[in-house]
A and B are shown apart, each in its own frame.
Chain A
């Protein structure tokens, strides 16, 4: 099922709106991450989609139908809360069965059928042994799975997850996100999830919507976001990058007074800001730079190089074995993303 969001705005009191004209078009069956710094409006967007919050302006169409007048309980959208919001006085079984038991009498499955479906779902999320436990008696990762089973019980056409792995340990996070992606591929439900962890978004999402101050800054596939960021914010937000002020003239960015060779830049002449990934800033022995630090992360050697007054993160050129502190080096920009300075902040 598709989700079309147009001009969505939501204001909390005075000041900058939490959502400020959000536009987004999610295709049926997609696995989409909403990524952004805290306060960018991710959770608000998710709550508006579920009908838990009401926008001041704009439209949400689910499968082409405007859902403005549809209350949360009639939307049939699965929602997994960041804190899971499991009913603390109900067992795991009762939690998962809830959505079926509250259906109007005519549409409510018989108790035996409910039990069978709950057990199938608990199998699906791999915690069948927990059905008699209470939420307080199980671990965070298990709660997360139960919350998911509860949301899936109503057979939603759209699944929304708010920071689904936020409260979990690093290793559990990684296992669960791979598992969630597999589950999505099996069930084929359109899924949107909120995260502030770019590795997580990159690892599992088909496409990522980057939110900034209540707007979608860019919506694209992970590799495209990384290679072709739409603006300086996205370039600076995703991955690490050296930010270098520069001046564009005749299609070339000049870094004077820094001793760096100009690079091609497809922006208008004038002041600009270049983003250079550490992997694209190559250090070679001998030159005007000084190595101030070197650390190995297990795979690659990272250098901190002082050039003039600036400290830059760089990578040693292939073949330069064992650079050390205080070695002199030169720097070459292999590729840079250049944006006009007025749009950069």
Chain B
């Protein structure tokens, strides 16, 4: 029996198996094992202690604050992102490339620096610090600072999901709407928005996942006061440093679930649109 020659662009069976095996090993060690560790460590003493740790008043306060910060930052970045995508994708103007680069700048900056800049502006020795103190206003080490840091970190997500899609879609449908007598608002609502809704949702989901999970930036501007200026990621750190491992991992598991949900939703949206959303810089 003669062997059927395999196509020229295909690898030998042994090479394929070795590659798949190696990939699964990398995958398991680097991705699955840490994920598994979060849930196993959270449930190490059973479900009840884990649930009790989450129901702890400080944990609940952290969850509430996390939701509040995300609820403010995400809409801000959604509006800004849609506006940026609209002017960059649908118009030509000098400085457009520079603007696109500047919008992605926060991805190139360390989360700690994203928090630091707000302290430099609004901290006690910040540019506007003395003025704020005179007027009894508090930005840094309080909610406004945490929101600002979160907005900075999640700034590019919506814009960078929308810009490539809207550029691919071109301007002709909007121009057609204009020749048919539609106003600007009508054009946006009836023509543009339906075309970008899934990508917009996908961008908002990613923005939200990062907003709820941000650690470095928020850590710098948070007062680290339990029950007051602690978000879930910060609460994990506090519990972990106090050797309350079950509590730390229980809160971590909650955030890991959020990450998995976000990935699932993103996968679903990609199926719906047949287009891959860029998650990263």
Q: Do these two chains really belong together in a complex?
A: yes
Asked whether A98 lies within 8 Å of B177 as measured between CB atoms, the reply is: yes
Which of A50, A74, A89 contacts B181 (CB under 8 A)? A74
Cβ of B22 under 8 Å from chain A: no
B209 to chain A, nearest CB (A): 27
Cβ of B100 under 8 Å from chain A: no
Asked whether B181 lies within 8 Å of A85 as measured between CB atoms, the reply is: no
Cα A153 to Cα B176 in complex, Å, equals 13
Cβ of A87 under 8 Å from chain B: yes
Asked whether A81 lies within 8 Å of B180 as measured between CB atoms, the reply is: no
Chain A residues with CB under 8 A of B32? none
Chain A residues with CB under 8 A of B191? 87
Chain A residues with CB under 8 A of B195? 88-89
Cα A124 to Cα B172 in complex, Å, equals 25
Asked whether B180 lies within 8 Å of A98 as measured between CB atoms, the reply is: yes
- Contacts between the two chains (Cβ within 8 Å), count: 66
Chain B residues with CB under 8 A of A153? 180
Cβ of A103 under 8 Å from chain B: yes
Asked whether A151 lies within 8 Å of B179 as measured between CB atoms, the reply is: yes
Cα A80 to Cα B178 in complex, Å, equals 12
Mask: chain B, 97-114; 1 = CB below 8 Å from A; 0 = not: 000000000000000000
Cβ of B56 under 8 Å from chain A: no
Mask: chain B, 177-198; 1 = CB below 8 Å from A; 0 = not: 1111111001000110011000
Chain A residues with CB under 8 A of B177? 87, 98, 102
Which of B173, B181, B190, B194 contacts A73 (CB under 8 A)? B181
Chain A residues with CB under 8 A of B182? 73, 98-99, 102
Chain B residues with CB under 8 A of A51? 178-179
Chain B residues with CB under 8 A of A99? 180-182
Chain B residues with CB under 8 A of A339? none
Asked whether A85 lies within 8 Å of B176 as measured between CB atoms, the reply is: yes
B230 to chain A, nearest CB (A): 44
A contacts, CB < 8 Å to B: 50-52, 71-79, 81, 83, 85-90, 98-99, 102-103, 150-151, 153-154
Q: List 5 A-B contacts (CB under 8 A).
A: A50-B179, A79-B175, A87-B173, A98-B177, A102-B180
